Amino acid sequence: MVERRIPNPMVGGSSPSCPATKEEKIMNKLLSVYSHAKTELNKVIFPTKEQVRNAFISVFIVVTVVSLFLALIDAIMSFSLSTIL
């Protein structure tokens, strides 16, 4: 059985005799996107200050170690090439 609904005359676009305008459709889409984004942001678990600090320290240490390793390799190659040439 098909459910039949009576159009709401107070809402534009709810009746075939008063279709929604293009601006109303765009506004409805924007409101829908906004409400979905707000719902998704409520689901996000943001890191604590301690977690951010620990991640920063870890990244800083790894970058420092890698850069020191590459500087050492560069110095060794520069020294070996200067003695050969």
Number of domains in the chain: 2
Q: Looking at the domain assignment, is residue 3 inside a domain?
A: no
CA 53 to chain centroid, in Å, comes to 21
In the chain, the amino acid numbered 79 is: F
How much is the pLDDT for 84? 87
Asked if 13 and 20 touch (Cβ cutoff 8 Å), the reply is yes
How much is the pLDDT for 85? 79
**In angstroms, rounded to a whole number, what is the distance separating the alpha carbons of residues 49 and 55?**
10
57: containing domain: 46-85
Q: Is the confidence at residue 47, as pLDDT, over 80?
A: yes
Output the six-digit token pair for 59.
Answer: 């990244």
**What is the per-residue pLDDT across 16-34, written as a single tens digit (0 to 9) for each?**
666 667 778 888 899 999 9
Output the six-digit token pair for 65.
Answer: 């170690």
Residues 39 and 54 in one domain: no
Output the six-digit token pair for 76.
Answer: 């060794």
**What is the per-residue pLDDT across 52-70, written as a single tens digit (0 to 9) for each?**
999 999 999 999 999 999 9
pTM over 0.85: no
